[in-house]
Amino acid sequence: MKRHRPKVSIILLNYNGFDDSISCFQSLQQISYVNYDVIIVDNASPDASMDKFVAYMQEQEIEHVFFKSPEVALQDGSIAKVSLIHSDFNGGYGYGNNIGIKYALKNGADYVLILNNDTIVNPDFLEPMVQMCEEDTNIGIASGKIYFYDRPDTFWFNGGKLHQCTAKAEHFNFNEKDVGQIINEPVTFISGCMWLIPVEVFKRIGFINEEYFMYVEDVEYCQRIVKQGYKLKVCGDSVIYHNVGGTSGGHLSDFSVYWMARNYYSFIKENVNGLCKIIAFGYLIIFKPIRWLLKRRFSLFKNHVVGLFDAVLGK
């Protein structure tokens, strides 16, 4: 590691997830990396999450600053180790994280770490990712090994790829125990669960697509990164643990299936071309709903179809 450690701003996006967010924050307080700050953005949680964050920081005597709105945060010159930003509008994953990103850029971050609030980090997780990016300035997004929280030897994510002709994002080694697997193909997708991004990338590529609200925005952003010639890399020495579905109710909830169907339709329409577009739409519009019917998952079938219709109608 270079003598100068770049400043990393860590963004936690919260929506009705105070307990998860505080557990994640507590693990971040134990990390060995020194030059970092934490930005907690609350997406208009109706459960008074922000009041709880403020009370926690005061009780623990943690240096912090509270902003009642994103506009105040971007105008105010106050800086602290922990910044709490309340939004009175829930615009989803992209909207909330973009608030944190803009605040981080305003306050001199060298890197932005977007981290799901339902994760726990290893104390030494950050140094190797930063060092990897410092040594290779062509990395657009870095991440690490992500294990299941309740199975800490089993992969949830170890790099991934986007299948162009189905628009399906694959997690390498998903649900496999870590026995030292080596990935021998390029990474073309990194889950938005953990992204370490140099600030120059935001200046060149722009921010996260807010139209997606939830799900698939990570697929779309990775595509933009790759198209601009950047690399996606996973650092094997960086480890976190993911309480899967802690934020949205699970990978196969009605909520997630609706937004995945809606957003994949938009993604295919805007990013896939030629024969692959026909195949990808067929996979999304025909194969997936038939699969829900065959599995007798009628609620998921309904939400998938509604998501498709809303995408087509532009709702």
Average pLDDT along the chain? 94
- Domain end, chosen from 219, 242, 265, is at 242
Query: ∠ CA(151), CA(155), CA(161), 5° rounding?
Result: 155
Are 171 and 273 in the same domain?
A: no
pLDDT in tens, 188-245: 999 999 999 999 999 999 999 999 999 999 999 999 999 999 999 999 999 999 998 6
Are 64 and 99 in the same domain?
A: yes
pLDDT grade for 122, boundaries at 50, 70 and 90: very high
Q: Is 157 within 8 Å of 244 (Cβ atoms)? A: no
Are 266 and 205 in the same domain?
A: no
- Inform me whether the pLDDT recorded for 251 exceeds 80: no
Q: Is residue 3 part of a domain?
A: no
The secondary element (H helix, E strand) that includes residue 111 is: strand 111-115
Q: What is the mean pLDDT of residues 61-67?
A: 96
Q: What is the mean pLDDT of residues 92-100?
A: 97
pLDDT grade for 314, boundaries at 50, 70 and 90: confident
Measured CA to CA, the distance from residue 73 to residue 227 in angstroms comes to 32
Residue ranges making up the domain that contains 290? 254-313
- Inform me whether the pLDDT recorded for 3 exceeds 70: no
- Inform me whether the pLDDT recorded for 2 exceeds 70: no
- Domain end, chosen from 190, 221, 242, is at 242
pLDDT grade for 93, boundaries at 50, 70 and 90: very high
Q: What is the mean pLDDT of residues 166-193?
A: 94
Are 293 and 177 in the same domain?
A: no
Q: Is residue 248 part of a domain?
A: no
- Inform me whether the pLDDT recorded for 68 exceeds 80: yes
Are 181 and 271 in the same domain?
A: no
Specify the pLDDT at position 245: 60
Q: Is 88 within 8 Å of 2 (Cβ atoms)? A: no
Round to the nearest angstrom and report the end-to-end CA distance of the chain.
48
pLDDT in tens, 255-295: 999 999 999 999 999 999 999 999 999 999 999 999 999 99
Specify the pLDDT at position 248: 45
Specify the pLDDT at position 136: 96
Are 200 and 306 in the same domain?
A: no
Instruction: Spell 74-105 as b/e; 16+ CB within 10 A means b.
Output: eeeeeeeebbbbbbeeebbbbbbbbbbbbbbb
Are 211 and 98 in the same domain?
A: yes
Are 86 and 208 in the same domain?
A: yes
Are 20 and 159 in the same domain?
A: yes
Q: How many domains does the chain have?
A: 2
Are 101 and 186 in the same domain?
A: yes
- Inform me whether the pLDDT recorded for 250 exceeds 60: no
Are 41 and 166 in the same domain?
A: yes
Helices and strands per DSSP (H, E), number in the chain: 11, 12
